[in-house]
Amino acid sequence: MSTTAHRPTRERSRWEAQRSFDELGRPLRDLTFCVVDLETTGGSAEAGSMITEIGAVKVRGGEVLGEFQTLVNPHTEIPAFIAVLTGISNSMVHDAPPIEAALPAFLDFAAGCVLVAHNAPFDVGFLQHFARRQGRPWPKFEVLDTAKLARRVITRDDAPNCKLSSLAKLFGSTTTPNHRALSDARATVDVLHGLMERLGGLGVHTLEELQTFSSRVSTAQRRKRHLAEGLPHSPGVYLFRDDRSRVLYVGTSKDLRTRVRTYFTSSETRTRIGEMVGLAESVTGIECATALEAEVRELRLIAEHKPKYNRRSRFPEKVHFLKLTREAWPRLSLVRKVLDDDADYLGPFSSKKTAEKCLAALHETFPVRQCSGRLPLAPSRSACVLAEMGRCLSPCDGSTDASTYAAIVRQLRDTLVRSPHEVVEAINRRMSALAERERFEEAGIHRDRLATFVRAAARTQRLSALTRCPEVVAARREDTGRWSVHVVRHGRLAAAGLIPPGADAHQYVRELTASAETVSDAPGPVPAATAEETEKILRWLESPGVRLVDVDGEWVCPLGGAARHLAIYDAANQSRLSLVPFDEQRLPSPVHQPVR
C-alpha cells in the first residue's frame, strides 16, 4: 500500500483560465477532489465480487496533492477472464492487505474530499458495500461522475463515445487507461480537468453549478413549449413531426405531457435532439394502458417510421443468425433469415461482426466442417488446410466416418440448445494457457469470443423459452394500487390493460384475453416479435411482484443453460465499458432501463 505527494505544474494553466469569474458557491479551484478507480473480480459486490486493487489521486486547483495505490487480497481465486482483462493475477495479490485494512486507509486518504470516479455508481457502490460489511459508517462524500458529466458536454463530433479511453485521448491525457487502478485514476484526473476547462467557458465555476449543469436551451426551443400543451398526464408514446408530418423522433414516458415539456427546457442536453426540436412542428401523443405497452409501441413505431433522430431500434430486420444445418454432414452457417427447416438457430445478432465472433468460438471448440455447400453421403474431395491443422474432422476426404461426425454435431447442438459447458471449458483452458505465457492480447481475443457466445446462447434460450408458449397472462400491482395485466403470445405483446377499480378481476382478464391480438407461431428463436420487444416483455415478467395468471405451454429454461455463466462476463464487460471502442459495444444490456 502506498501514497505519494507531489505538485506537478502541468495542469495549472487550465485552472488559471477560470480564476476571473465572479464566483458564487464553492469555487471548484478551492475544492479538493479524490479521483478513485477500482479493479474487482466481478461486477456486483452484492453477488460476492471482491476488490483487487484501489487507486486514487488527490487534486486541488489543478495540482496533484497525493496518490494512493494498493493491491487487495480478495481471498478468492481471480477468474482467468478477469486476470486477462486487468493483468492482476492470484500471485500478485497473495501478500496484499485484505479489504479490511485497505478500505480504512483509503477513507483516511479521501477524507474531506469530493469523490470522483468514471462510472461512479460502480466504484462507489463497491466501497459502500464493504464499508457496510465492516460496520464502518460511510462518510458523507459528495460524488461526481465524469462519465455522466461528459455525456452532458461531449458531442459525437468531439469523441465517438464517453468512455474513459476516448476521453483520455480527447483531452490529451499523459496516462493511457490500462485497467490498472492508479493508471485509470490518473487518466480520470486529466479527463476531469479537461471537462472543467470546457465548463469554465460556459460559466460553470462552482460545485453547485457543476452538479446541476446542463446545456443551454435555445430560444427557438423555448418558443415551441406550446407543442406539449395538448398532451395528457398519462403513460404513452409521443411522436415529434416536421412541417410535412414526417416522424422525426419517437419516445415513451410514464407522463407524456411532463416528458415532452422537458424538450423545451434546459433539461434537454443532447445536441441532435436540440436540432430535432428545431425542425418539429407538432407532437402526437398515443396513450397506453401500461408502461410496458408504451415501450413496445415505441419499438414498433420506430421500426415502422425509422425516424432520423432515433439512434436505436430503427432496423430490427437487419439481424444475423447462426444456423446448424440439417444435412448429411452438418455445418454452421451465418444467415439473415430463419426458415422452417427444422434446423437449430442461435441469435439474433444485431451485427455481423458479433455473429462472426460467436461462430469463431464454436469452431474453435467443435471441429465441424467450415466449407460451404452440401456434401454427398460419401464425399471424395481433397482435404483443406483446416483439416491439415487438425481443426476439422475432414469428412470431405473420408478422414472421419458418419457416426463420429454425428457425435460431434450432437454435442454442438446440445451446446446451442441446452448447455454451453463444452465451449466455456475449452476456451477458458486456452485463455488460461495464453495468459500464463503473457500473451494477453491473444487471450483477449478468445475472451471476447467466449463472452459473445455466452451472451448469445443465454439470449436465445431465454427468448425461445417464452416464444414457445402460445399464451402467457401475467399481472402486477402498480404503484397506483391498480393491477396491470398483459397477454403475451409467442413472445409478442398481444394485449395490455389496467383493471378498473371495483371491477371483477377474473372477468376483466377473460375479456382482455378474448380481445387480444391473434399471433401465429413461426420458426426460430424470435418468431412473433423482434428480439428487443420480447426482451422487454421478459424483463417485465421477471420483475418483482409479477404474478402468472395463466400459462399455455411450458415456460422453462435449461437448468445448465448459458444464463448461469453470464455473471462473470457481464462483470468483465462492465469493467471494459470505459476502454473498448464504441463500435464494439453492441451486446444486449443485462440491465433494465426504466421508462422515463
Which residues are known catalytic residues?
179
Tell me the angle at which helices 146-153 and 181-200 cross, rounded to the nearest 10 degrees.
40
* Residue that is written with C-alpha cell 413461426 in the block: 522
E-strand stretches of 19-138: 32-40, 51-60, 63-71, 114-117
DSSP class of residue 499 equals P
Residue-wise DSSP of 269-301: --HHHHHHHHH--EEEEEE-SSHHHHHHHHHHH
Tell me whether strands 282-287 and 2-4 are parallel, antiparallel or unpaired.
unpaired
Amino acid, single-letter form, for residue 176: T
CA dihedral 166→308→275→222, nearest 10 degrees, is -120
Burial of 219 (C-beta count, 10 Å sphere; 0-12/13-18/19+): exposed
Sort residue 75 into left (φ over 0), alpha (ψ -120 to 50) or beta: left
Q: Which helix (H) or strand (E) holds 104?
A: helix 99-110
Do 40 and 93 touch, CB atoms closer than 8 A?
Answer: no
Place of cell 423482434: 530
Question: What is the spatial distance between Cα 228 and Cα 255, in angstroms, rounded to a whole number?
Answer: 11
Q: At what angle do helices 566-576 and 440-467 cross, to 10 degrees?
A: 120
What single DSSP character describes residue 144? E
